[in-house]
Chains A and B, each alone.
Chain A
Amino acid sequence: MNTLALEALIEEESRIKPKSDVISLEVIQGCIRKNKDSQKIVYEHYYKKMYAICYRYAGNSDDAKDLLQDGFIKLFDKLHINIEITSVDAWIRKLFTNHCLDFVRSAYKKYMVNQSEWDENMQDKLADTQEVSDTWLDLYESENILKALAQLRPDYRVVLNLYAVENLSHQEIADFLGIKHATSRSKLLRARASLKKILQKNGK
């Protein structure tokens, strides 16, 4: 991407979004030149959002912090003048999502093998709860949903993330994780039910 294109892109983003949400051209150019001050501005602008993505996939703060760390190292390494970016914001988000998906793909087998790590009693503790209206989830803050998601069984969490948040189809999820189409469907159903129970147990 040349400087003019980058300039046009940032102008376009600043028209659509509030000024505080847009990183300036100088800052992006500074990051391309590996300038520490510019990197700091980009880091501080994005780290909370990117941490939420990492936490959503990792399910614990330690892994999420590692993913955040590696993600930003990758970002600052990959950000150079020749890269094709249609939106800086979307590009960074996509980079982190792909980074987390790589982690999920490598860790998925471990999740399946080490199910003993997951406290199976948790499922029993969460007794059947009464049905509520379909807007019940609206009442919860994002942070609480993220924390509830972290308490889900790891394989349920991955499938729910891929289906509901990344909008992948069951076939795509099955291909990605190397599982059967029907397994993906059943895991999603259980994930939704478990999430509902956890949220109701945790409260708003």
Chain B
Amino acid sequence: MESNSRKRMDDILHDKLANASLDADGISWEDFQNKKTKRRAVWWWWASGAATIAVVLVCFNWIGNISENVKGQETSTAQNKSSESISPKGILLNPGANLRQRNSGNNSVSQSGNYFNRNQHAMENRSKHNGFNTYRNAPVGQIAQDQLADNELKEINPIYENEKQYQSTEEIAAEIYKKVDAATHSNMDSFNHAPFVKLAEKDVNSISKNKDKNSDKNGIDLLHIKGLYFQLQAGANLNYPNFLVSSYGSQFIHKNYENIRKNSEKGLWGYSFQLHAGKEVGRFAIETGLGFTFMEIAANYQFSYSEKPIRDIDGRIVGYNNTTPEWIQFKNTHKYYFTDIPVMLKYTVFNSPKKILRLKTGAVAQIMNGIQGSLPDAVLLDQREKLRSENFKSFSTALDFGLEYGWKKGDKNQWILAPYYRKNWGLDQVQSLYKMRFNYFGFALSYRRSL
């Protein structure tokens, strides 16, 4: 009998529910379209973040390239000065009068293969031209003018057109040895008397190969971009949420809502992962990157609900009706997911061969990717509202302050412990009725590699 009753109940449930219809606010075609657009917008934030990083990296590469060109020219200049008398291995190269056939009376240069005399001459010409004694003293703009001076030299003596462009000390050294080696095996008498140590063929080749290995396809020597580094960071954070109702929002939100939220929610440990790229200039470094931060809040709502709001046609609360007190109690964990795009400034306070201490500060763009949890409705406290990303503005900003204490492992690697404090300006409700601030302490362990 009881079994039949249950069967009958199940049948009725099936009949009534299988083809049931239900209407609700916010599910019209227009709402469907709007939500689709919002979801796309989150992906746009991701894409724009990634694009920002790409642009920054390209800029760093470009700055590095300029500094490398300047450095290359400085090296070349210094090398040219010294190469007149000293070989790369410190062996005195004094080939004698036959090797140095410089005509000091005019601009012509010998054709005997001692290309460094040409550079010496070019230097002298540049010094006269620009008024600077060395390239080290010359501003970048002046270097461009010097290129013009080079072109003038080429016009004077077409031999320069056939000369190679040398980019590093090693390459110059290899070339010197090749030329000297060739001269030794020729019938040039002067080399027979020179205090010359013959370099084996394989050493010459290995110098050339190393040069090739260290350069990328575009000829930019990435391993020598000064001050560029990458930092990979993982850390934990403990947040202190602060819920605030705006003065505008207080017209629409239950008067007890702010207190309920403030008293019921406390921060839990979260975590973050970051990949940063930076450029050091003296004691300072500027850094940016992309990161992911996860935060949790434990909510334990316990309150008595006895005042029901009376609202006007615009939804403004104009008064409260007393009702039978109802005890509302439930627990929930709120989860927040952010993409971070930081721009940090760092200052090196202390730098020893083994350890390093830096101060850092900067701004962080925090883009909300997701949000989970449920909480009391802001107006009718006895009802529940789900935390939805559509109800919040996805963009918020924060300020970071922190320290970095690093242990150096070789010239290029560092392990860093970094405590920091982040002050968030608040995740705004979409109509700015209220905001949620996430201030938090965190510490991170980072691995940093300089290029």
Chain B residues near A149: list those with CB within 8 A: 17
Of the candidates B20, B22, B330, the one having the most CB atoms from chain A within 10 angstroms of its own CB is: B22
Complex-state Cα separation, A65 to B26, whole angstroms? 8
B23 interface residue (CB < 8 Å to A): yes
Complex-state Cα separation, A192 to B388, whole angstroms? 32
Q: A72-B32, A117-B332 are in contact. Are A134 and B9 (CB under 8 A)?
A: yes
Q: Mark A102-122, 1 if CB is under 8 A from B, else 0.
A: 000000000000101111010
* Those 5 A-B pairs whose CB atoms lie nearest each other, nearest first: A62-B386, A142-B20, A48-B21, A52-B22, A134-B5
Chain A residues near B20: list those with CB within 8 A: 49, 52, 56, 142-143, 145-146
Chain B residues near A134: list those with CB within 8 A: 4-5, 8-9
Report the interface size class on chain B. 35 or more
Chain A residues near B24: list those with CB within 8 A: 51, 55, 61, 64-65
Q: A134-B9, A165-B14 are in contact. Are A51 and B386 (CB under 8 A)?
A: no
Report whether A165 and B13 are in contact in the complex, using a CB–CB cutoff of 8 Å: yes
Beta-carbon contacts under 8 Å, B27-66 to A: 27-29, 32, 35-36
B6 interface residue (CB < 8 Å to A): yes
Chain A residues near B9: list those with CB within 8 A: 134, 137, 164, 192
Chain B binding surface SS class: mixed
Name B residues whose Cβ lies closer than 8 Å to a Cβ of A.
4-6, 8-10, 12-14, 16-24, 26-29, 32, 35-36, 327, 329-332, 374, 384-386, 388
Report whether A146 and B22 are in contact in the complex, using a CB–CB cutoff of 8 Å: yes
Report whether A119 and B22 are in contact in the complex, using a CB–CB cutoff of 8 Å: no
Chain A residues near B28: list those with CB within 8 A: 47
CB of B209, distance to nearest CB on chain A (Å): 54
Q: Mark A42-56, 1 if CB is under 8 A from B, else 0.
A: 011001110110011
Complex-state Cα separation, A8 to B18, whole angstroms? 26
Residue of B nearest to A149 (CB): B17
Q: A51-B27, A165-B13, A165-B14 are in contact. Are A60 and B386 (CB under 8 A)?
A: yes
Report whether B21 and A52 are in contact in the complex, using a CB–CB cutoff of 8 Å: yes
Complex-state Cα separation, A40 to B17, whole angstroms? 25
Chain A residues near B331: list those with CB within 8 A: 114, 116-117
Complex-state Cα separation, A140 to B374, whole angstroms? 30
A68 interface residue (CB < 8 Å to B): yes
Chain A residues near B23: list those with CB within 8 A: 48, 51
Report whether B330 and A117 are in contact in the complex, using a CB–CB cutoff of 8 Å: yes
Complex-state Cα separation, A164 to B331, whole angstroms? 30
Chain A binding surface SS class: helix
Chain B residues near A143: list those with CB within 8 A: 20, 22
Report whether A138 and B12 are in contact in the complex, using a CB–CB cutoff of 8 Å: yes
A87 interface residue (CB < 8 Å to B): no
Complex-state Cα separation, A127 to B23, whole angstroms? 31
> With contacts defined as CB atoms under 8 Å apart, how many contacts are there between chain A and chain B in the complex?
102
A-B contact pairs, 22 of them (CB 8 A): A49-B21, A51-B22, A51-B23, A51-B24, A52-B22, A62-B386, A69-B35, A116-B330, A117-B332, A118-B330, A137-B8, A137-B12, A138-B12, A140-B16, A143-B20, A145-B13, A146-B20, A164-B9, A164-B14, A165-B14, A192-B6, A192-B9
Complex-state Cα separation, A138 to B27, whole angstroms? 28
Q: A134-B5, A142-B20 are in contact. Are A44 and B29 (CB under 8 A)?
A: yes
Complex-state Cα separation, A62 to B20, whole angstroms? 19
List 20 additional A-B contacts (Cβ < 8 Å) besides A62-B374, A69-B35: A44-B29, A47-B29, A48-B21, A48-B22, A51-B23, A52-B20, A56-B20, A62-B386, A66-B388, A72-B32, A117-B331, A119-B330, A121-B327, A135-B12, A138-B12, A142-B22, A143-B20, A145-B13, A165-B14, A167-B14
Of the candidates A68, A118, A134, A160, the one having the most CB atoms from chain B within 10 angstroms of its own CB is: A134
Name A residues whose Cβ lies closer than 8 Å to a Cβ of B.
40, 43-44, 47-49, 51-52, 55-56, 60-66, 68-69, 72-73, 114, 116-119, 121, 134-135, 137-138, 140, 142-143, 145-146, 149, 160-161, 163-165, 167, 192
Residue of B nearest to A117 (CB): B330
Chain B residues near A51: list those with CB within 8 A: 21-24, 27
Chain B residues near A192: list those with CB within 8 A: 6, 9
Report whether B16 and A145 are in contact in the complex, using a CB–CB cutoff of 8 Å: yes
Complex-state Cα separation, A165 to B374, whole angstroms? 28
Complex-state Cα separation, A173 to B12, whole angstroms? 20
Report whether B27 and A47 are in contact in the complex, using a CB–CB cutoff of 8 Å: yes
CB of B342, distance to nearest CB on chain A (Å): 31
> A69: which of B14, B17, B32, B329 is its contact (CB, 8 Å)?
B32
Report whether B17 and A56 are in contact in the complex, using a CB–CB cutoff of 8 Å: yes
Report whether B29 and A40 are in contact in the complex, using a CB–CB cutoff of 8 Å: yes
CB of B420, distance to nearest CB on chain A (Å): 32
Complex-state Cα separation, A146 to B16, whole angstroms? 9
